[in-house]
Amino acid sequence: MKKKKLSKNFIFLNRSINQQNYSKDQNGNEVLTSGLRGAVLEGGSRSAKTTDSVDTIIKLCVQASKPLVIFVIKETQVSFKTSLYSDFNNRLKHYGLPSAFDDAKEVSVFKINGSKIHFMGADKVSKFEGAGCDYAYFNEALNVPQEIFDQVEMRCRFFWWMDYNPRVTLHWIYDKVIPRNDVGFLRTTWKDNAYLPAGMRAKILSYSPYAEGQNITVENNELYFNGSIIDENNKPKPHLQNIENGTADDTNYKVFYHGIRCAPEGIIIKNYRFIDEFPELDYIYANDFGFTNDPNALVKYAETEAEIFVELLIYQPIDNAPDLIKAFEAVGVEKEKPVICDSSDKFKGDKGSVEMVQMLINSGQKAFKVSKTRTVIYWLGSLKSKRINIINNNLSKKAKLELENYVYKSIHGIQLNEPVDKMNHFIDATRYGHIAWTLSGK
């Protein structure tokens, strides 16, 4: 392999892999006795996370004493074509190795020195059940569901790692993976990439709303200026050219320039806050069904002229009416209170069809299907006209996670007036409550 200036990510990954120690148990299976099980690479745009990961895969294959099986996992199979095809093609040629990507329109598996590299989309859990690998790499891991990661890690024999741009502030990776004692963590930025092309460097610099050369630092995922958090009373000098050119962007500056965890662009609902107690107001309940993979979201809901109050009470898949009724009882849903339900109902039963809403009614619950007389965008606009107050409880992080990921669709960078239909179960339940409250004339 040709020599290159080693970057932080590459050194970190290979040191973590090389420091693993294995021994065989009584059944002859390899067991990790010391070292890390996996690693997380978090960083801004063009910090060489992906390039260094590809280089690590190539090194593993070239130096392997016997053929390896390596999984490379992204959100979907199609998403490989937008980046990793070209990354592997460039790096393989850089090292003088044959490439499978020159004229190929579709590559799902290829070989390096006899080792197999599988490109696998994270759209179906079933494709990972029973499939084992020696190493696994999760590219843009914020888009990979936790159940996919769990399945792969369980069947990964030696080491796994993941990378991502930190474009959300809440995620299962932050809570469930990074704190583990057997997982390494490294944060990098574009400044750690010695081979960053001038054009890409200029693009990242163009996001800055602040003039270069000032004492701007990052601590605890916050921007500081001269030792204090940047706010209205403590602001660096502005970058007048970037502002005049229209390229200055606070979110892109935080995520891509500094690698700070930040909510994504195109967020639909921004006017919200978290409070400690539900006020003494009349209230209703609203429920968005979730049957298998999606959570069933139940909220307690009330409005005033300018404020909305909502508390998330249930957030888990519930695929049958008896279990839903028990869940309602467990959180204290009163029989006399209206429960406004998703009109996309589930039908079950061997003899005829039984609706979930009808089963709730049969149990004595005052349940109704929501009246969807107008579009989702109309009611979202109506919802956003008031400040949303979310009650802090054990599920409020789920609500915040949705609010930070519920965004408008975009095509080639052009934002559409249509929401992405995911990460919206708490939000949909809240919208149903707002619809019912508004139409009832309360």
- Structural domains in the chain, sorted by start: 8-192 (3.40.50.300), 198-257 (no CATH), 272-439 (3.30.420.280)
Q: How many CB atoms lie within 10 A of CB 382?
A: 14
Question: What is the per-residue pLDDT for 353?
Answer: 39
pLDDT score at 395: 95
Helix 376-384 with 425-439: angle, nearest 10 deg: 80
Q: Where are the beta strands (DSSP E) in 255-295?
A: 272-275, 284-288
What was the pLDDT predicted at 268?
A: 87
Q: Of 280, 230, 279, which Cα lies nearest the Cα of 258? A: 230
Distance CA 205, CA 212 (A): 9
Residues in CB range of 294: below 8 A, 6 or more apart: 317, 425
pLDDT given for residue 349 in this prediction = 45
Q: How far is CA 40 from CA 8, 15, 188, 419, in A?
A: 13, 13, 11, 30
Report residue 369 CA to chain centroid gap.
31
pLDDT of amino acid 345: 59
In the numeric block, which tokens belong to residue 15? 């040191």
Low-confidence ranges of the chain (pLDDT < 70): 1-5, 263-265, 345-354, 411-415, 441-442
What pTM value is reported for the model? Answer: 0.68
